Amino acid sequence: MTSRPKFFDAVNAALIGIISILCILPMLLVLMVSFTDEASIKQFGYQLFPSELSLDAYKLLLFGSTPLYQSYMISIFVTVIGTILAVTITSMAGYTLAAKHIRYRNGLGLFFFITMVFNTGLVPWYLINLNLGMNNTIWALIIPSLVFNPFNLFLVRNYMSQIPPSLTEAAKIDGASDFYIAFRIFFPLCMPVLATITLFYGIAYWNNWFNAIMLVDNEKLYPLQYLLFKLNSEISMIQQMQSSGAILGSQTLPQESVKMATAILTIGPVVLFYPFLQRYFIKGLLIGSVKE
């Protein structure tokens, strides 16, 4: 009787180990290619053990003419401020839809649900941002993405709906306001789902480059993702012009290694941020999505 569970545990551990290795290998490959010489990549392709190492990609990104450090700070500021504001707004809206004593909450829920189905389009979005005076300001990277995602809203609403109404009734009897109930009772009990949407919003803000393309022309306000996207596009264009003979030059720019180095530089904060929220993430995602 005891040998069967031990055998199952051994097989299960072996399978999980194999799957973990298969998940780690692509990341290791990206890391090694970022340190590979461009000529070696063109000759041998992507290699887990490159024949010739090079730091050209990181030298170009970190010590080139592009203000990488400034863009890094812009992305960190936008991600932190935007995530805090978005989580706060979504949490308060979720409490409003979950509280049974609030009138017209079902109508408000339908209003938010409609925004998941219908989209006004790009032109009205751009004109609204332009008329609000956010063009070429730091707020152009925060406010257009600040309006909460309806999916995150309903995730929070479903989780808060599971909190016993007796807690709200007892707080009301003691004279507590909705603001006090939300921030002192509901939000502390909803840490799993709040951590989940924090991760969603944080990744969305960190990876957002579209707002910069549409609303920012000032290089001092370029976020990291847009700056690296712009740099990769310029390298690709220069190489195409060199191959066609439009411009002269024998220097080989590290296009492929720069792409991999870009992935390493941009994924770092996300990889460091996720372990702090991992214990809340799965619980908040599952529990918040099953109850109507």
- CATH code, 252: 1.10.3720.10
Decide if 13 is inside a domain.
no
Tens digit of each residue's pLDDT (9 = 90 or more) over 47-82: 888 888 888 888 877 776 666 788 888 999 999 999
Average pLDDT over residues 96-124: 80
Q: Is residue 26 part of a domain?
A: no
Q: What percent of the chain has pLDDT over 90?
A: 7
Asked if the structure places residue 141 within a domain, the reply is: yes
The model's pTM is 0.78
Structural domain contains residue 189 = yes
Among residues 268, 242, 241, the alpha carbon closest in space to that of 79 is found at 268
**What's the pLDDT band for 288 if we cut at 50, 70, 90?**
very low
Specify if 5 maps to a domain. no
Res 202 pLDDT > 80: yes
Q: Are 172 and 106 in contact (CB under 8 A)?
A: no
Range of the domain at 204: 56-290
| Confidence at residue 78, expressed as pLDDT on a 0 to 100 scale | 92
Please state, in angstroms and rounded to a whole number, the distance separating the CA atoms of residues 100 and 175: 17
d(CA 178, CA 176): 7
Distance CA 20, CA 26 (A): 11
Look-up of token digits 């180990």? 17
In a domain, 61, yes or no: yes
Give the distance from CA 275 to its chain's centroid. Answer: 14
Whether residue 164 lies inside any domain: the answer is yes
User: Would you call 203 helix, strand, or coil by DSSP?
Assistant: helix
Give me the pLDDT at residue 77, please. Answer: 92
pLDDT, residue 82, reads 92
Domain count, the chain: 1
Question: What is the average pLDDT score of the chain?
Answer: 80
